[in-house]
Amino acid sequence: KNEVEQSPQNLTAQEGEFITINCSYSVGISALHWLQQHPGGGIVSLFMLSSGKKKHGRLIATINIQEKHSSLHITASHPRDSAVYICAVRRVNRDDKIIFGKGTRLHILP
Amino acid sequence: ETGVTQSPTHLIKTRGQQVTLRCSSQSGHNTVSWYQQALGQGPQFIFQYYREEENGRGNFPPRFSGLQFPNYSSELNVNALELDDSALYLCASSTKTSAGELFFGEGSRLTVL
Phi, psi at B97, each rounded to 5°: -135, 155
Rounded to an integer, what distance in angstroms lies between the CA atom of residue B69 and that of residue B53? 9
Does B106 contact chain A (CB < 8 Å)?
A: yes
Dihedrals phi, psi of A80, to nearest 5 degrees: -70, -10
For the stretch B52-82, pLDDT in tens is 888 888 889 999 999 999 888 999 999 999 9
The length of chain A is 110
Q: Report the distance separating Cα B33 and Cα A104, nearest Å.
A: 23
pLDDT digits (tens, 9 = 90+) for A9-25: 999 999 999 999 999 99
Q: Which residues of A touch B107 (CB under 8 A)?
A: 41-43
Among the listed residues B95, B76, B113, B93, the one whose alpha carbon sits nearest the alpha carbon of residue A43: B93
Give me chain B's average pLDDT, please: 90
Query: Cβ(B89)–Cβ(B107) under 8 Å?
Result: yes
Report the half-sphere exposure of B102 (CA within 13 A, side-chain side). Answer: 35
What's the start-to-end Cα distance of chain B, in Å? 32
Minimal CA separation from B109 to chain A, in Å = 9
pLDDT per residue, tens digit, chain A (110 aa), is: 689 999 999 999 999 999 999 999 999 998 999 999 987 778 899 999 999 999 999 999 999 999 999 999 999 999 999 999 999 998 887 566 788 898 999 999 99
Q: Within an 8 Å CB–CB cutoff, is residue B30 touching chain A? A: no
In angstroms, the CA B16 to CA B14 distance is 6
pLDDT above 60: residue B33: yes
Radius of gyration of chain A measured on its C-alpha atoms:
13
C-beta atoms of A35 and B55 within 8 A: no
